[in-house]
Amino acid sequence: MKVAFLVAPEGVEQVELTEPWQAVKDAGWSPELISTASGEIQAFNHLDKADTFPVDRTVKDASAADFDALVLPGGVANPDFLRLDPKAVAFAKGFYDAGKPVAAICHALWTLVEAKVVRGRTLTSWPSLRTDIENAGGHWVDQQVVVCTDKESTLITSRKPGDLKAFDEAFVAEFGKVAA
């Protein structure tokens, strides 16, 4: 199974990238880092610069058809940059349109709001996104992880870094249904 991780050139919360990445590898799957620019991305530990990571492909050179599932790590700046890039939004929406599972944590839901895929869905996120999700037609709940499946696709959402263990377990279980 090939899993895309979509991130902006800077601003991703490092732990929200590295822990799900490791969960994908531990499941025996292949993660790939997709960004809006080539080179390296700059991760952050909240507001402080952390490590850099090499980009495997840019959104202009990738499509949802190349992958089985998508992970959207958070960080405040990361999804804010992504939602302003039409190719990044289209890349994320492509998974939803193809019925492929999407996992998003923390502020990453902004990308899904921009992709217009939250209407009628029950989701969770960092609490400050509640109004954005509700204004986009989604139903926001304060839970560690929410798995929302409908006839279009499965969205797995989580609130914050403290929920990563539950998030990783939930998305690996859902992605595993595709891999089976």
Q: Alpha helices of 27-161 — where are they, by DSSP H?
A: 77-83, 86-97, 109-114, 130-135
Joined tokens for residue 7: 């991130």
Q: Go through the chain and tell me how many residues it has.
A: 180
What does the alpha-carbon distance between residue 100 and residue 3 come to, in Å, rounded to a whole number?
10
3-state secondary structure of 156: strand
Active site residues: 106-107
Q: Where are the beta strands (DSSP E) in the chain?
A: 2-7, 10-13, 30-35, 40-45, 48-54, 57-58, 69-72, 102-105, 122-123, 139-140, 145-149, 154-158
Q: Do 44 and 77 touch, CB atoms closer than 8 A?
A: yes
